[in-house]
Structure 1
Amino acid sequence: MSVDTTRKTINAYIDSLLHGGDFASFFSDDVLWTTMETGEQVRGRDAVRDYIVALHTQAFTASPEVKRFVAADDVAVLEAVFVGTHVAEFAGVPATGKQVRLPYAVVYDLSGDTITALNAYFPVNALANQLRSAAPTG
């Protein structure tokens, strides 16, 4: 695939993600999400979509703040900031109402105009530590 095709695909995906569109339509049937810090994996279009939606609308009311995007043949990298409010349990921490800002990156593998893998360099432990510092002490 050309760099131009990669760029167009990821730009359309990000636009869909940010504006409530069907971002999962960009995923292959067996797309694989991997949280690189923990090794957690989620496979399949619906499962990955649900995972992303849960993170942004259930555990948090959040959205990505896009910083940079780089495209090459069959691969793209997004640098962003996770911005939101902690509204439900996450990583064993009950809702705190805390506002969070956390930098992260995602590496996307593509085949044609389809995303086949997302490797998320999302610092789960740093986020959990932010929340624990805000949680009421017992």
Structure 2
Amino acid sequence: MSIDSARMSTEATKRTMDSYLEALLSGSDFAQHFSDDVRWITMESGDQIVGREAVRDFIGSMHTTLFDAHPEVRKLVIGEGVVAGEFDFVGTNTGEFEGVAATGQQLRVPYVVFYDVAEEFITELRAYLPAKKIMAVFRAP
């Protein structure tokens, strides 16, 4: 956790996260809650995406391009400048990925994201995704 995020109150962290999730779940501008240099890290692979637009586009592609999907919130734990979220990724594979046509397969996959929040912006998302399970829908018959 960064020094800046440690200074953020639990209440302010909750307000930021509530606003972010409301925007994400309603299909509105969730990226307004990201810092300019926000970082997404896929923990399984170590892949990183940096920048508000790049992270927005990545999340958007998972929800609207590769899949017609949405997250379902299972549980949130909120502290001073940090949030742990447990979610289900629920949807249907509707887009091509790396030359493999969409399968139309439905999926429900649990995942966890840790968020760092500073100055009322999300500064980092560390995603623990079962990427192999998600990508298996592209190999489905």
The TM-score, its normalising length taken from structure 1, stands at 0.92
The answer to whether residue 97 in structure 2 is matched with residue 90 in structure 1 is yes
Q: After superposition, give the CA deviation of every residue in 1:112-134 in whole Å (9 maximum; x if it has no partner).
A: 211000001111112223442x2
The answer to whether residue 13 in structure 2 is matched with residue 36 in structure 1 is no
What is the aligned counterpart of 1:110 among 86, 111, 117? 117
Question: Structure 1, unaligned stretches of length 5 or more?
Answer: none
What is the aligned counterpart of 2:88 among 42, 60, 81? 81
Instruction: State the match for 2:52 in structure 1.
Output: 45
Alignment partners' CA distance in 2, 1:54 and 1:77:
23
Count residues in correspondence: 134
- In angstroms, what is the RMSD of aligned CA positions? 1.3
Moved over 3 A (4+): 90-93
Question: Structure 2, unaligned stretches of length 5 or more?
Answer: 1-7
Q: For 2:38, give the aligned amino acid.
A: V
Identity %: 49
Q: For 1:42, give the aligned amino acid.
A: I
Instruction: State the match for 2:67 in structure 1.
Output: 60
Alignment partners' CA distance in 1, 2:102 and 2:88:
20
* Range with greater deviation from structure 2 (8-17 or 123-132): 123-132
The answer to whether residue 22 in structure 2 is matched with residue 22 in structure 1 is no
The TM-score, its normalising length taken from structure 2, stands at 0.90
Q: 1:5 to 1:41 in 2, by over 3 A?
A: same
Shift of 1:4: 0.8
